[in-house]
Structure 1
Amino acid sequence: MKASKKRLLWVLILLPAILTSYVFWLSQRSVEIVGVHQNGNHSYILVKNFPFSDRGKISWWLENKDMLRVKYKIPKPATYGSYTIIFWLFGEGYKEEGKYDRLCFNDMPPPKNCIEKEAIFAVEKSTNLGTIFTVYNGGDYRLNNKGTVVEVHRK
């Protein structure tokens, strides 16, 4: 009986430590940009290992927007200044159009020019609202005039 209590104690100690280590490892993986597609002032960035949290996604954008501008020439604003950038999970790679509701890119040849629609983050800039961050399955945020990110509560 004493040995089973010791095992249980070790499980109760080790399991949370292992889970915490795993979550930490997942959060430290580098974001991998797999593809970039353009359609006017809309940019679509296909990623792997994107941060989990709302704050992590926004921080990643703020830290990497200059790199995206230099390396991929993103964003490409319209003549009036607005743009949209949507980050999509790359998942299992490019697929054929076949299945309902896949996102297909006109800037690459078929048949494998589509992905499953798993948007995870968007950055939009407009002359009226400024910079807006949308975290899919998360919140909406705005970059205010002071450079601070504030949550937007929509009704």
Structure 2
Amino acid sequence: MTAKSKKTFYVLLLVALGIFGYCFWLPLRPIDIVAVHHREYGFSSILVRNFPFTDKDKIGWWLKNKDMLKGKYDIPKPEKDGSFTITFWLFGEGYKENDGYDRLCFNDIPPPLNCIDKDAVFSVSNSKNLGTIFTTYDGKYQLQKNGDIVKFTDEFEFK
């Protein structure tokens, strides 16, 4: 091995170790709950940073932390029939002014900086008919009575 090829090898090894370390660190970052906003009819929004990437990790985080969310933030706030929806939004660049188009604005804080860009990463809903449903980018999942989590499949096939 020449000196130049050794140098190239060590640089590539260092880059690979850096990438590996970063990928290992990403899922271990603590999830930061920035704010919680309650709306009417059992709807709540939780603004987060560093939310898990995979569907499994998002659902697992909810199952592990739902009691903490109830105790600390009074989430969920179900309706009389037990239904609720909680949406987790990436906080991104923080609160912004209403652009008149597609920002989510909260009535419980005064304008002008009371809106966020709509970047939902996860939602949890509960209803009498369906039970607990988790919604992610990749699909919907239902919590079964036995504790299993089953992914919804398309109910209708067109022929």
Match of 2:12 in 1: 12
| Matched position secondary structure for 2:114 | strand
Aligned match of 1:151:
151
**Aligned equivalents of 1:111 and 1:129: distance in 2?**
38
Structure 1 distance, partners of 2:128, 2:16, is: 47
- For residues 119-140 of structure 1, give each alpha carbon's deviation from its aligned partner in whole angstroms, at most 9, with x where no partner exists: 000001111111110112x232
Provide the residue aligned with 2:21 in structure 1: 21
Deviating above 3 A after TM superposition, structure 1's stretches of 4 or more consecutive aligned residues are: none
Q: Which is worse superposed, 6-15 or 49-58?
A: 6-15
**2:93 corresponds to 1:92:** yes
Q: 1:109 maps to which residue?
A: 110
Aligned length: 154
Separation of aligned partners in 1, 2:22 and 2:69:
29
Percent of aligned positions with the same letter in both sequences?
56
TM-fit CA distance, 1:99? 5.0
Distance (Å, rounded) in 1 between the aligned partners of 2:145 and 2:116: 36
Q: Deviations for 1:50-100, whole angstroms, at most 9, x for unmatched residues? A: 111111111110110000001111101111111000000001111110252
User: Please, what is the CA RMSD of the aligned residues?
Assistant: 1.4
The structure with the largest strand share of the pair is 1
Distance 2:130 2:20 in 1: 39
Question: Structure 1 unaligned runs (5+)?
Answer: none
